[in-house]
Amino acid sequence: MSNMLEVADLGHTYGDYEAIGGLTFNVRAGELVCVVGPSGCGKSTLLRTISGLIAPSRGDVSLHGSHLAVVFQDYQRSLFPWLTVQGNVEFPLRSLPRAERRARAAEALAWVGLSAAAKKRPWQLSGGMQQRVAIARALAYRPALLLMDEPFASVDAQTRFELEDLLLRVRREHDTTVLVVTHDIDESVYLGDRILVLSGSPAKLVADLEVPLPAERDQVTTRTDEAFVALRSKVARLLNVGGKPTLDVDKWAAAERESLSETVSS
């Protein structure tokens, strides 16, 4: 599988504050990769540098495709309240002929189950439906890479499960490459083909973990699967949830990589 995204020694400082400390990783075409890390470690900064919203202080980002789309946590601020749902989804497609714009938006709204809401305004919809509009808008653009920054953090638990399953279905049906930032360990294991675990600020890569679960997942059986529970514990341990702060991230990461390669080769 070829790489869709290559990130090499990416670093960013705000003034003299180092937010990202040199990250190197790849995302393969068609893969869904989750990024987890402690609060404030630099996850959003990472997405901003990949999307080009800010220029990184050092390193390279290579996207092997023409464009990307970003879905943010705050759907209320990312949708235009004066446009209809259809108008919102069409908005990034302004350069296309009207008929194609219409067709693509209608198609993307069908993917997320919102065809019947096309003529409504965003504020007439529930939070979960609004986030589905934001996802449809991103998909209608047909991005080479879909970036998502805590996309389900502002909805209730039930809606979150529904949106997670929607994302898994849509990326499977349309072979979308996705990079999702989340602070939720369970969500990273449930959604991901791979999980990138970041350390506290400055963010460094602590582990790059394959998720050993079948592609077909469901909220009840997957979350009770032994492999799910084991990986969730491993990520929690790496993030030091409830533990002491790690003093030497590089040493820790090297030990983890060694134990991982032992697991893979055994």
Ligand X SMILES: Nc1ncnc2c1ncn2[C@@H]1O[C@H](COP(=O)(O)OP(=O)(O)OP(=O)(O)O)[C@@H](O)[C@H]1O
The residue ranges that bind ligand X (CB under 6 A) are 14, 17, 19, 37, 39-45, 183, 201
- Residues in Cβ contact with 28 at an 8 Å cutoff, skipping those fewer than 6 apart: 1, 2, 3, 4, 177
| Helix, strand, coil percent values for the chain (each to nearest 5) | 45, 25, 35
Q: At its nearest, how many Å lie between ligand X and the CB of residue 256?
A: 20
| Per-residue tokens: 80 | 């235009």
- Our CB check for ligand X shows the closer of 37 and 56 to be 37
- Our CB check for ligand X shows the closer of 19 and 32 to be 19
| Per-residue tokens: 67 | 């464009």
Q: At its nearest, how many Å lie between ligand X and the CB of residue 226?
A: 29
Q: At its nearest, how many Å lie between ligand X and the CB of residue 40?
A: 4
- Residues in Cβ contact with 5 at an 8 Å cutoff, skipping those fewer than 6 apart: 26, 27, 50, 61, 62, 63, 64, 145, 177, 179
Q: At its nearest, how many Å lie between ligand X and the CB of residue 198?
A: 8
Q: At its nearest, how many Å lie between ligand X and the CB of residue 182?
A: 9
- Our CB check for ligand X shows the closer of 46 and 109 to be 46
- Our CB check for ligand X shows the closer of 43 and 204 to be 43
Q: At its nearest, how many Å lie between ligand X and the CB of residue 180?
A: 13
Bond before 202 cis per omega within 30 degrees = yes
- Residues in Cβ contact with 232 at an 8 Å cutoff, skipping those fewer than 6 apart: 185, 186, 189
- Our CB check for ligand X shows the closer of 43 and 171 to be 43
Nearest to 114 by CA among 98, 137, 91: 137
CA pair distance 77, 72, nearest whole angstrom: 9
Nearest to 5 by CA among 149, 144, 199: 144
- Our CB check for ligand X shows the closer of 42 and 128 to be 42
Burial of 106 (0-12, 13-18, 19+ CB in 10 A): middle
- Our CB check for ligand X shows the closer of 112 and 253 to be 253
Burial of 177 (0-12, 13-18, 19+ CB in 10 A): buried
Q: At its nearest, how many Å lie between ligand X and the CB of residue 45?
A: 3
